[in-house]
Amino acid sequence: MNQTRPKYTNKTYPVMLGRKLRRVYVWELPVRVFHWLNALAIVVLCVTGYLIGNPPAIMSGNEASEQYIFGTIRFIHFAAAYVFFFNFLFRIYWGFVGNKYARWRNFIPTTRRYWKEMWEVMKVDIFLERCREHVSVGHNAMAGFIYFIFFLMSGIMVITGFGLYASMSTWWFPKLFAWVPGLFGGDFVLRNWHHALMWFFILFTIVHVYLVMYHDYVEGRGEISSMGGGWKFIEEAQFQEDLRDTEEQEQKKKKEAAHH
């Protein structure tokens, strides 16, 4: 068996030349919609949030009754926050019903294999070592774990944000968060946390966009466009290896199940 499926090793990258690429449907439509809604919401939230913290000096001959600029900025922030939140909830749901690449297991390290892959990614992508090219089809372990942190941060942003919003809302839902300011020691402290954590999202976005370009450039598998059509392209040899891997795992599972 192994002879017909040659092992893909660190020496093999020149062999990529002329190899057939396989199209893999990685990101389902709901995942793509989530991604872009999330991206849009984050950009809008960061821009309006920053402006709320540091409003621009507007010189205007208008009376206050004739304009509503800051009110509009705040409204956009709140509206985007709702989009961000419900989109976030949806993604959590999709983590339980979506395809293999969307499942929650991609984000939370539960196996030794996960940690091993994280270390592998560190070596290849951060220290730029010349070892076996990393070839996760969906999220690599490191990316998945960072997205997990991203999700935790999103949760904190949602809680602090609705906590601040609770006292000015008439809807019952934001009022569920009225306990939050007390936990942080008042609106002032809460607000500063909410503002400071915005920088996580800004830094995340910078690194995220760079790494997407990096992977596209180094691997040539359509990393950037995958969030458009949902496809990534992997070498046939890689495809076969992954297939063998999956088969092995399935068999292991069956054996274990039989054991019990």
Partner 1 sequence: MPATQSKRRTYYDELMERGYSRRDFMKFCATMAAYMGLEASGAAQISEALMTHSRVPVIWLHFQECTCCSESFIRSSHPIVADVILDKVSLDYTETLMAASGHAAEAAMHKTMEEHYGEYILCVEGSVSTFGGGEYCCIGGRSSEQILQETAEGAKAILAWGSCACNGCIQAAKPNPTRATPIHKLVKGKPVIKVPGCPPIGEVMAGTLLHIITFGTLPELDRVGRPKAFYSKRVHDSCYRRPYYDAGLFAETFDDENAKKGYCLYKVGCKGPMTYNACGIMRWNNGVSYPIQSGHGCFGCSEENFWDNGPIYRQMASFPGFGIEANADKIGIAAAAATGAGIAAHAIATNIRKRGILSSLQEEGKDAEEKLDNPLT
Contacts with partner 1, residue ranges (CB under 8 A)? 13-14, 16-18, 50, 53-58, 60, 62, 64-71, 73, 126, 128-130, 133, 167-168, 178-179, 182, 185-189, 191-192, 195-196, 198-199, 202-203, 206-207, 210, 214, 217-218, 220
Q: What percentage of the chain's residues is helix, strand, coil (to nearest 5)?
A: 70, 5, 25
Cβ 64 to partner 1 shortest distance, Å: 4
Q: Which two tokens stand for residue 214?
A: 């990096």
Measured CA to CA, the distance from residue 205 to residue 107 in angstroms comes to 18
Nearer to partner 1, 57 or 257 (CB): 57
The partner residues of 21 in beta bridges, in order of sequence, read: 235
CA angle centred on 20, ends 14 and 23, rounded to 5°? 120
Nearer to partner 1, 77 or 91 (CB): 77
Q: Which two tokens stand for residue 192?
A: 């500063």
Nearer to partner 1, 89 or 183 (CB): 183
Q: Which two tokens stand for residue 66?
A: 């004739």
Nearer to partner 1, 83 or 178 (CB): 178
Q: Within the chain, what is the greatest distance between any pair of CA atoms?
A: 81
Nearer to partner 1, 57 or 258 (CB): 57
Cβ 121 to partner 1 shortest distance, Å: 14
Cβ 229 to partner 1 shortest distance, Å: 20
Cβ 76 to partner 1 shortest distance, Å: 13
* Tokens 């395809």 sit on residue: 99
Cβ 67 to partner 1 shortest distance, Å: 5
CA 31 from centroid of its chain's CA atoms: 10
Contact 197, 163 (CB under 8 A): no
Print burial letters for 113-131: b (CB count within 10 Å at least 16), e (below 16): ebeebbebbeebbeeeeee
Show Cβ contacts of residue 94 under 8 Å, excluding neighbours closer than 6 positions: 30, 31, 34, 102
Question: Is the dihedral angle over the CA atoms 146, 147, 153, 156 positive or is it negative?
Answer: negative
Nearer to partner 1, 3 or 18 (CB): 18
Cβ 206 to partner 1 shortest distance, Å: 5
Cβ 44 to partner 1 shortest distance, Å: 17
Nearer to partner 1, 36 or 188 (CB): 188
